[in-house]
């Protein structure tokens, strides 16, 4: 198959998800390409693109794509149509709200021209992050509902994402499939904390949605509860990073909390003993999968699809946005180091379910199902018109 993935921002979990699919499907003999935003990302993302290029037989296409809806989307949609048409894909897989919209609009236009292409959409949060109590949220949900008519299959990466879709948009009118994210075999090797490692690691985007502000406030309170200074590392990029640095300095913790730019997760894991995920919202975060696979103890907000990874009764859960609860869990981890280790999932069962090979096989089977269904529908319409 000729498979083209379209998404806006080449950072975080969506980018990781697409890279894994591209690598696995290329190894299986498919031709894969990527189309994404040209204005997002930095040196770290450039290096990731460089590493995936050998697997992109259909190449890498980057066009400017704004996060919010705007007049520039018209120009981008026209350019996207031209680029996609020239690549002649069998499968268009859109990720996130903007990528999903482009894929379904462009794919439908190609279908008008009697070009058979499968149109798939993975929300990955996207529009689902908006509140039902806002006009903007209702507008995005209405658009998602309209686009369902041009969708051959929805793909949810967690049951939480599916349930959120039902609650905010409605029961899917298009076919859907649940396919969990997965990791490469090499990522299941344990990562030991380096000599002199910090107590806690935050790794992720530097924006309030992911909770770095909660992490910082909880650190200061955890020191009081544990009765000793705590050292931490924060890894990630984002426009709010200077604000978090300023807050750390204001709390007098600058010597104990180190900030680093984005880096591979396994490198960051060696810098601390325990990984903290203080997010206010998630879908199916790779960082939790990676931390568990690396044998790192985890403290996490109970949000999104994380219970599907570590189990609904995981002892390391705290309420999202609750710095006091997070501080309590961090202090307990300091005072009882074996507490979290005993709560982590069984590794053999975890590895069997959350592997990249399993994810890619299930996704390829879905692509084939969509193409077969379209071929049958086209054949039926042809027979009907002749009769």
Cβ burial 234-253 (10 Å sphere, 16+ → b, else e) = bbbbbeebeebbebbeeeeb
94 by Cβ neighbours in 10 Å (0-12 / 13-18 / 19+) ranks as buried
- Per-residue pLDDT of 236-275, as tens digits, reads 998 899 999 999 999 999 999 999 999 999 999 999 999 9
User: pTM score, two decimals?
Assistant: 0.82
Number of Cβ within 10 Å of residue 59's Cβ equals 14
Residue 51 pLDDT > 70, yes or no?
yes
Looking at residue 64, its pLDDT comes to: 84
Contact 244, 276 (CB under 8 A): no
Asked whether the domain spanning 187-349 has the same topology as the one spanning 2-182+355-386, the reply is yes
What is the percentage of the chain residues whose pLDDT exceeds 70? Answer: 96
Q: Are 36 and 62 in contact (CB under 8 A)?
A: yes
- Does the domain at 2-182+355-386 match CATH 3.40.50.2000? Answer given as yes
pLDDT above 80: residue 67: no
pLDDT digit string, tens, across residues 168-222: 999 999 999 999 999 999 999 999 999 999 999 999 999 999 999 999 999 999 9
- CA torsion 111-34-363-377 (nearest 10°) is 10
CA–CA separation, 22 and 310 (whole Å): 26
Q: What distance in Å separates the CA atoms of residue 330 and residue 299, rounded to the nearest whole number?
A: 8
CATH number of 187-349: 3.40.50.2000
The span from the CA of 170 to the CA of 129, in Å, is: 15
Asked if pLDDT for residue 7 goes beyond 90, the answer is yes
Q: What is the pLDDT of residue 381?
A: 60
CA distance 43 to 50: 10
Structure tokens at 299: 């403290």
75 confidence band (pLDDT: 50, 70, 90)? confident
Residue 202's nearest CA partner among 148, 278, 135 is 278
In eight-state DSSP terms, residue 230 is -
Cα dihedral: 25, 31, 36, 38 (round 10): 120
Average pLDDT, the chain: 92
Q: What are phi and psi of 304, to 5 degrees?
A: 55, -140
Question: Could you tell me the CA-to-CA distances from 73 to 61, 127, 175 in Å, in that order?
Answer: 16, 16, 27
| More confident position, 77 or 4 | 4
pLDDT category of residue 74 using cuts at 50, 70 and 90: confident
Residue ranges of domains in the chain: 2-182+355-386, 187-349
């Amino acid at each position: 198959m000729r498979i083209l993935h379209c998404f806006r921002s080449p950072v975080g979990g969506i980018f990781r998800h697409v890279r894994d699919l591209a690598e696995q499907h290329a190894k299986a003999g498919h031709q894969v390409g990527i189309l994404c935003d040209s204005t997002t990302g930095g040196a770290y993302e450039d290096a990731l693109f460089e590493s995936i290029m050998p697997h992109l037989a259909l190449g890498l296409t980057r066009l400017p794509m704004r996060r919010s809806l705007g007049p520039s989307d018209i120009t981008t949609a026209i350019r996207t149509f031209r680029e996609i048409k020239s690549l002649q894909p069998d499968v268009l897989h859109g990720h996130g709200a903007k990528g999903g919209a482009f894929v379904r609009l462009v794919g439908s236009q190609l279908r008008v021209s009697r070009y058979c292409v499968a149109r798939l959409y993975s929300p990955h949060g996207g529009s689902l992050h908006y509140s039902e109590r806002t006009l903007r949220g209702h507008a995005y949900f209405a658009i998602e509902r309209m686009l369902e008519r041009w969708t051959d299959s929805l793909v949810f990466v967690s049951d939480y994402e599916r349930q959120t879709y039902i609650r905010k948009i409605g029961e899917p009118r298009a076919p859907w499939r649940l396919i969990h994210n997965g990791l490469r075999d090499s990522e299941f090797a344990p990562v030991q904390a380096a000599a002199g490692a910090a107590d806690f690691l935050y790794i992720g985007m530097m924006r309030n949605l992911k909770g770095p502000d909660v992490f910082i406030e909880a650190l200061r309170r955890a020191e009081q509860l544990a009765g000793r200074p705590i050292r931490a590392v924060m890894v990630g990029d984002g426009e709010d990073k200077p604000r978090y640095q300023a807050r750390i300095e204001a709390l007098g913790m600058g010597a104990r909390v180190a900030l680093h730019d984005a880096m591979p997760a396994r490198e960051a894991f060696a810098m601390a003993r325990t990984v903290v995920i203080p997010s206010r919202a998630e879908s199916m975060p790779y960082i939790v999968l990676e931390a568990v696979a690396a044998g790192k103890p985890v403290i996490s907000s109970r949000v999104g699809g994380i219970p599907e990874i570590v189990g609904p009764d995981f002892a390391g859960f705290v309420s999202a946005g609750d710095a006091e609860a997070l501080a309590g869990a961090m202090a307990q981890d300091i005072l009882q180091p074996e507490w979290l280790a005993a709560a982590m999932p069984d590794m053999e069962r975890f590895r069997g379910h959350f592997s990249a090979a399993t994810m890619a096989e299930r996704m390829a089977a879905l692509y084939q199902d969509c193409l077969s269904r379209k071929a049958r529908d086209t054949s039926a319409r042809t027979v009907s018109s002749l009769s």
